[in-house]
Structures are given as C-alpha cells and as structure tokens.
A and B are shown apart, each in its own frame.
Chain A
Amino acid sequence: MSDIRLEYVTPESLIPYVKNPRKNDAAVEPVAKSIKEFGFKIPILVDEKHNKNEIIAGHTRLKAALLLGLERVPVIFTDDLTPEQIKALRLTDNKTGEYAEWDRDLLVGELSDLRDIGIDLDITGFSAHEVEGFLSESVDLDDFFYSEEESAEQVAQMQNGSANPEPGFNKSKVVCPSCGEEFFA
C-alpha cells in the first residue's frame, strides 16, 4: 500500500466521472450544510495515474464545494489502483454504506442530546420530519381509545338502553327523517 498524498486543489481542476451511477442532487444541500458547519473534513478521492484528476469517490462533496463557492478542497490522490479496481471502488464506496443500519435507540439518544444542548439538528442531515418522527414519544393510546372501564360501561348502557354517548362515541345520533325520533346507530 502506497502512502497517501493529500493536497488542496481548486474544485474546477477535478473531473467528475461521467458514468457515475449515483443520483446525488438531493444530497448536495445537506452535504453543503455539513461542510459549512464542520469544514471539509473528508477529502475527495481522485485518480492520479490513469485518468488524471478524475474523481473516484466524492462527487457529492465536489458539487457541495461548488455550491458553497469554495476555492480549495482537500484531495487524496491515488496511483496504486488499476482502472478496473477504480471502476469497482466507485460502486463499493457507495454500496457498502447501504449495509449499515441505524440503532434506533442510540440514534434517538444522540439526537436528543444534541437537541437538549441547543444544536440545530438540521446540520445532522436529518430533515425536520425525520427528527419529529424519531424524537416523538410513543403514541398514548388513551388519546384515541376509552379505558376498558369506560368502554365496558358504555357497552352496558347500550345494552340496557340508557346509553347517552358523549360526542364522538362510536355510535352516532340519527334522526329519523319520517317520524323525527332520535336514535343511536
């Protein structure tokens, strides 16, 4: 394994791979927010030997850099891969991440911690609706259902004809269009 050569170059000097199979437009803005908040911490990987300055990994980061108008981006140049390996690495780099999953409890804990110390969760890349979904409490079934006791009482009232359901009870009040009599159906 050869040593890594890291340099800062202008974004314009890098060449996107024309057959990059990732549709990354939706990811550009969140990545740009991240770079703006944390700096450009993960360099772009570039081919130095076969197709000079062509990107192997980091197309979204390049688009984000251009969006932010950055003058320089960190780049790792590699010269120890064959063209075939580079072609495969482009897929591997994107595909391997799909095998990882979120540990829900730990994620919720991390998001909660950040929220509690006042960090804008937008910079994590999670959207507002995702955050709402992760951080919302489990539903309180009492909001939607009567207790067993209340339910039993209502059923008993229905059975002995003394039912007086409160608004919203399962049974609706109906007025007979002919005789005007009210009943619950």
Chain B
Amino acid sequence: MNLYLAGTSAFPKILKAYPHTIDFLLESFYYITPWQLEMLRNKKIKTLLLDSGAFTLLQTYSTYSEKYVDEFVQKYIDFINQNDIDLFFELDIDGICGLQKVESIRKRIDKETGKLCIPAWHKSRGLDKFLEIAKDYPYIGIGGIIARKEIKPKEHVHFHKLIEIAHKHGAKIHGLGFTPLKTLNQFNFDSVDSASWMQGAKSGRVFQFRGNSLIEVTKPEGRRRRHASILNSHNFHQWILFQRYLKGVNHV
C-alpha cells in the first residue's frame, strides 16, 4: 500500500531539510509550491499524486460560474502538461456544478493531457458510476471520506466490496484521506493519503513508528507543547518510516 503524505506545502523548512527521499507525496494544484516541484524534478520526491484543490477554491464563491470553472480546468491541464505529472485526480466538484459537468471536465482533461486522470468516486454518484470508472480507468479513487464526511466510519466496511470490484476490473484504487491507524491494514487499498502527520502539533500528538505500526502519544495533561516545528519534524519522519513500511506490505 502506498501512503501519500499530504499537507506539506506549508512546511518548506522541514521538507527541504529532510535528508531522505520521500516516496509518495500528495499535493493539490491549488497549494503546490515551486519548491515542491523542484524537489520532484530533483527526485527528492519520487511520486507526486496531484489533487485539483478545486473544491476548496470554488466553494469559496457564492455563485457558480461556468466560465471560472473552465478557466480553472485549463490552468490545471496546463500545469499537468508543463510539469509532466502522471497521477492526477479529476475535479470532483459534483457539489458545485453537478456530475454531468464533472464528467465532461474529466473527458476534457483526459483528452488535453493525453493521459487518464483518476476519477474520484463519491457515494452520491451511485454504484453504477463506480462500476463505470472501474471498467474505464486504470486508477480510481474514493472521495468524501474525511473532509466532506459523506462516508461515515461505520460504512467503511463497504470499502472491501468496492476494492474487490476495482481489482476485478484491473483498476488500482485510492482511499482519499483514509488512514485510520487501527484498521488501515484491514483494507486492500492500493494507496491512501493522510495529512495527520501535520495535525499532531496542533493537538499535541506525538507519533512513533514501532517497526510494524504507528502509534500516537497524546499530550500529557497540564503540560504545554514546545515549538511546533520540533514536533512536526519528528512526526514527519515517523510518518515517512510508516510510509516505507506500508510500501512493502501486501495486505491480501
């Protein structure tokens, strides 16, 4: 399982100073920085998975503008082409412009990049649409797990069937934001991503990779946290170790 670390764009000092190669990084087009692209070119980041970040941006606008969406798509396509990005998600902005428009944008991205994007399926699209992308695309994703909370933790059990369907059709499958530490090993996602490493400093959580698991120690009561960067640097390294461990694990 490939674990993509997300949310690194705000931490240039930590990443630039990090002495080892970072195997998998997820960043959104909306947030990606020149220094991250430089690290990609220099192979300090081996594989970049690009999210559009469109939902974040477009939900800040009170009214939907097709013109604005189309301009965003063009910039996204240009960025993918200019930087020769291989793995990139579609714009899963169903909630803003509807699925029909999302599908038309998907086809446009595929055509103008000459590569197949990664459709990010949402529960609201229905199972038929999942089957469709599993048949048509080599890599698909499941969205709405974390931020938009479309899929509740008690529904995670259904991922097994979705993963099975994807694999049956030869498609790899990514769980967007799916990294529950206690149950991650039970799911056969080909890849997942997480920004938890950077959230540790906010809530005073110290992560530690223990050889075959990642544990977290919470802030002791009555004790204040030292500088966030100390904890962030530590947590980042522990998540990198966990990333390397998961890379070598075949769950099924």
Measured CB to CB, the residues of A under 8 A from B are: 23, 26, 102, 104, 107-108, 126-127, 129-136, 138-139, 141, 143-148, 150-152, 154-155, 167-170
Contact = CB atoms under 8 A, between A and B. Distances in A.
A133 B226 contact: no
B245 A146 contact: no
Interface of B: 204, 206, 208-212, 217, 219-220, 222-231, 234, 241, 244-245, 248, 250
Contacts of A129: 209, 241, 244-245
B222 A26 contact: no
20 contacts: A127-B244, A127-B248, A129-B244, A129-B245, A130-B212, A133-B211, A133-B212, A134-B210, A139-B206, A139-B208, A141-B223, A144-B204, A144-B226, A145-B220, A146-B223, A146-B226, A147-B223, A151-B223, A151-B224, A169-B226
B210 A170 contact: no
Contacts of B226: 143-146, 168-169
Nearest to A108: B211
A139 B230 contact: no
Given A129-B245, A141-B217, A151 B206 contact: no
Contacts, number: 87
Contacts of A144: 204, 206, 225-226, 230-231, 234
B231 A170 contact: no
A9 B208 CA distance: 47
Contacts of B210: 104, 133-134, 136
Nearest to A111: B211
Nearest to A154: B224
A26 B211 contact: no
Of residues B226, B227, B231, B245, which shows the largest number of chain A Cβ atoms within 10 Å of its Cβ?
B226
Nearest to B20: A129
